[in-house]
Every structure is written in C-alpha cells, then in structure tokens.
Amino acid sequence: MSLENKEGRKRGFMHKLGLIVVAGVIFAAGIGVGDGRLKFNVPGGSAPVANGLPDKLNYSSLDEVYQSVKANYNGKLNEGQITEGLKHGLAASANDPYTVYFTPKEAKDFRDQLNNSFAGIGARLSKDADGNLIIGEAIVGLPADKTGLKKQDIIIEVNGSQTSSYTLDDAIGKIRGPAGTTVKLKIVRDKSQTLDFKVVRENINLPSVTTKTLDGNIGYIQIGSFANDTTELTQKAAQQFKDAGVKGIVLDLRNDPGGLLEAAVNVSSLWLPRGANVLQERRGSTVTQSYTAAGNDTLRGIPTVVLINEGSASASEITAGALHDNKAARLIGTKSYGKGVVQQLINLSDGGQLKVTVASWYRPDGQNINHKGITPDDLVKISDADLKATKDTQLEAAQAYLNK
C-alpha cells in the first residue's frame, strides 16, 4: 500500500464510526448509544440523495402554525423549545430511525457514550420477541446488578410511567440520569413475579475489552463496544494469547451495539492478511470507499469462533462478516441485528449535531445486511432454563468446536 493510500485511509478513519441504535440490544441507562457508521464534519455527501427538494423551504405555512400556537396555546413555551422542536421535527421528517437531530446536550451525551463514560445503572436493554423492554444484561458490580436486577427481567414501568410505548431511546432517556440520583423500576420476572427496584445511578467508565483463558487453553476476548481503547486492548490480548500458544480463540461480540469503524477494521486485521476486504461503502450502486485489513495479523491461522446474537450490530457485524467471509472464523449463536446503513454526523453552529443516513455498507461476500442480519454457521440458542441455571450454551458450543 502506498503512503498516499495509507494517509487517505487514516483521514477516512478520523471521520467514521460504526455505531447503532439497536432494536435488539443497546447499552441502557447511559452505557452507550450509537447509530450506524458515522462521518464527522462533512457538509455534504458525494452526490445529493434527496433530489427534488427545493433549494430553500417556504416557511409561510410553518409561520402560520407558529402564530397559531403562539396565540392559542394554553401553556408555557419559549423560543428555544420551539426552535429545538423544529430541528427535531425536520430530522424526523425523513422517517428514518437513524436520521436524528441532537441538541448540544444530546451531542455531548453522545460523545461521552462513544468514550464509554456516562452516568447510569449499568445495564444493557433490549426488546424481546413480544416487544417488551427487557434487561439484556446487568453488568456485574454495577448498580443494576448490585440492586438485584437480572437478565431477562421485563421492565414495565420507569418512575411510574408504563414502558409499553417506549422505544429503546425513550427508555435510555428515562433511566439515565446524574450520578447519585435514583430511578424506580417495576419489573416482571419469570413472566409471573412483579418486583419494584430503586437503583442509584453511578458514573461508569468501562474498558471495552475483557479477556480470560478458558479451560483447554482457549483465549477469550469479549468486546462490549468498539471504542477508543478497543484496538489497543485487543491487540495486547492477541499478542498475549499468541505468546501463550493458545489452540483457539473465542471472540465474543454478543450484545455489542457497535462503535468505531477504525476499531472494527483493526480488530478484523488481527486475523486477516494485509489487503483482505473488510467492507465496502456504497451510495446506490457506486462503491465510494473500500476498507481492507491493515496487516497486523497476530492471530492469523489460529482457529477462531465468533459469538453473535440479536444484539450484535453494525461494527460487530462488520467484524463478524469480515472474519466469516474471509474464512478466518466460524460464527456461533443467533442471527445478528442487521444494521447496514451509514450515517454522516455534522456539527452545527449552535453546538448541536445532525446525524443523517447517507449510504450503505457491504460485507466481503457482497451482501448488505440491513434488516437481514448475519446468520451464524451454528445456530445455538440460550433457553429460559439455561438462563436460570446461568448456563452459557453458546460459549459451551464454541469451546466444544475449538476442542475438537
């Protein structure tokens, strides 16, 4: 690769992330929110997508609504509320869940979440097949876990408000809050027992990567999100496992909602030769950018299993797809979330940000996974009985495969 290409790729990475807002699993109560893969501070795409729109809007009808609200609304409003409401509404008019306006405060929260620094209860939320808001995971040692919340608990109320109409974003906004404050949760456990919890929020800083050695000399790498520290921590773990002569690797991407594109490519590169295709970005049928392995293939040739589930999304799916399609890993678990579109993040003059969908990304095998997900080689589910017995059948299946 020429120096020019290397520098071009570096610039590209500085502006792109691979994040998601997951309908399957999201870092809840301030543990992390993402939305697709983002490009920062780019005022426009390579070609206009929303063709047919006028250069400027006709604001006369909008002013008519404003004047009517101003003259008739029986309540308190200020100019700031109205302005922010208009911005949110303009983004929402795209009818795209990934095109969103962030207020300055929301933009700051978003940046904090990218750095795994936030205040919350330390739980990951998801939606079950019936659309219930559930605890996907109560992270050990954090407030939700210490208070007694458990995986698969159904949250039916937050501070007395029913969650039946909540999106995951709504739930995060309600459950997250300043450290030291309390959130009240009403949950249903085992679909029969109703319990009330008061959880005191804490400031939380989590490393994105945890590792251990499993029985049978198998290295285990769990990535909770693809964050700023992911590349360094994963590379360090990879070298330690290689030096230890492990016979296999489990890369656990379950319930990982995504993160930095650079981290996803760097993690994939640990298994892939330089130049191997990781993903392509397309606008329509035109390839606008390709991403290839960097060549730091410490784990290349070591048998590997990647664990995925319905909470594995975006950057997680990029990594899982790249390793699978390049025949570097076997996928075990359940079908991933299916987030295959690209967002652009634009900083606005008032400190807010606009995130807008601009393109799609494709696996090395040419597939776009949006709304489809990635189907594992071995479909292994964790039953309710397994959960009660704290039995991880997916991890057991990965170990059995590597111990053959």
* Beta strands 330-333; 304-308: pairing state: parallel
188 bridge partner residues: 154, 194
- What positions carry a catalytic annotation? 314, 325, 339
Token code pair at residue 44: 């426009």
Distance CA 340, CA 201 (A): 33
Radius of gyration from C-alpha coordinates of the chain: 22
- CA dihedral defined by 228, 234, 237, 238, rounded to 10 degrees? -150
How far apart (Å, rounded) are the C-alpha atoms in residues 401 and 300?
A: 18
Please identify which residue in the block is written with the tokens 């004047």.
67
CB 373, CB 338: distance < 8 Å: yes
β strands within 25-171, DSSP E: 25-28, 36-40, 100-102, 117-120, 123-127, 133-138, 154-158, 161-162
Token pair recorded at residue 186 = 């009403």
Distant-in-sequence, close-in-space partners of 346: CB < 8 Å, separation ≥ 6: 40, 41, 42, 43, 353, 354, 355, 356
- Any bridge partners for residue 77, and if so which? none
